[in-house]
Structure 1
Amino acid sequence: MNFGWGKAAVVAGLMLVGCGRSEPVDPNAGKAEAAAFMEKNAKAEDVVTLPSGLQYRVVQSGAAGGVSPDRNDLVKVDYEGKLVDDTVFDSSFARGAPAVFTPETVVPGWTEALQKMHVGDEWILFVPPALGYGEVGGGSDIPPNAVLIFRLKLLDVAPVPGGGSGVGTGMG
C-alpha cells in the first residue's frame, strides 16, 4: 500500500470533533425523538446495535481479515453525514476529496465504528446523540440531541508505530 497520502494529511472541512454554539440550548430538546428513532431503527433488517447504542448496517464488506485501524492510526474515508430528516450537513463525496484523520479525533460513534471496520468496508452508521454532539449539537447545522446518520467508507489505513486500540495512552 502507498501511504504517501498520510504524510500530507490535512483534514479541511471535516468538522466532526465539536462545534460551539453561542446561544443557550434546551438540554432536553430532541431527546425523545432521538430515542424513538433509535428504538425503531434497532428493529430494522440488517441493523446491528452495539452495547454503546451505536447502530450500523453493512452496505459492502472489504477484504476478509483486512486492516482495521487503531484509534490513533491515520484513516482515509469517504463519508456523507445527514440528519434523520435527510438533511445532508457534510459530504466528502460531494467535495470529491476523501477525508484523512485519526479515529480518536472525531465523534465517539465514529471512533468506535472505524475500529471495527476493515479497509473496503462501507457502513451506514446511526449515531445516537450521546456518541455524536449530544445536548450541545454541532454548530448551526446539527441540533441538540440529533441522531447522526453517516454513510462511511474506509478507503485506507496508515498504521502508527506503537499504536493501540486501548483507552488512553501511556507516556514514560
Structure 2
Amino acid sequence: MKPQVNIAVVVDVIGALSDKSLQNGNLCLIDDGSFDSRGQGTPELVTVVVPGQVVQWSALAVDLQTPVEIRSISFLPAGGGPAAPEYGVDHGPAGAPALGDGTDGGLGGAAEGAAGGLAGAAPAGHQLESGQLDLNVWSGVVPPYLTPGVPYRYRLELQMYEGDHSVLHVDSPALMCL
C-alpha cells in the first residue's frame, strides 16, 4: 500500500465553460492508488483508500491558457441530502488534517489547498476554500472511523478563470475504505 493516493483532476476548461458543465467529457478523474478504484477517467471515480492514508487532489487544465483551481471539496451526507457543512483550513505550516470530524455521517470536508504546507482544520461552519487562485493541490488524511465498503461522495468545486459560470462542481466522485 502506498502512503499517499494522488487524484488527478483533469479539466477541459474550454469545453466546461462552453457547456457550463463538468459532464460530457469535460472532467476526467484518475487516481494512482494501490487498490482497484472504480470509474477511472470519469467524474464518477470511487477512490479506494485505507485509514491513515494521505489523499491529494491536483487540478490540471487541458487548455493551457485558462487556469483551473480546486475551489473547495466538501463531503456529502449519506442518502444524497444537502451538502454537509464545509470545514475551513488555516493556511500556515502544520501537520496534515484528517478528512472530517465525524459530524456528517463519517467524513467531513477537510482537504486543504496547500501551497507551502498543510494546516489543521478550523471549526465547523468555515468554508473550505483557498481564497487564492494559485492553489491547485489539496490534501488530507483518511480518518480511522470510516465504514469499510461505503462510498463517501464529495462535491468537487472548480474555479476556471473569472466571470459568469466560472465556478462549476460535481457531486459524483467518492472515497471508499477497504
TM above 0.5, one fold?
no
Structure 1 or 2, whichever has the larger Rg, is 1
Q: When you count helix as a share of all residues, which structure comes out higher? A: 1
Higher relative contact order (CA 8 A, sep 6+): 1
Q: When you count strand as a share of all residues, which structure comes out higher? A: 2
When normalised by structure 1's length, the TM-score is 0.27
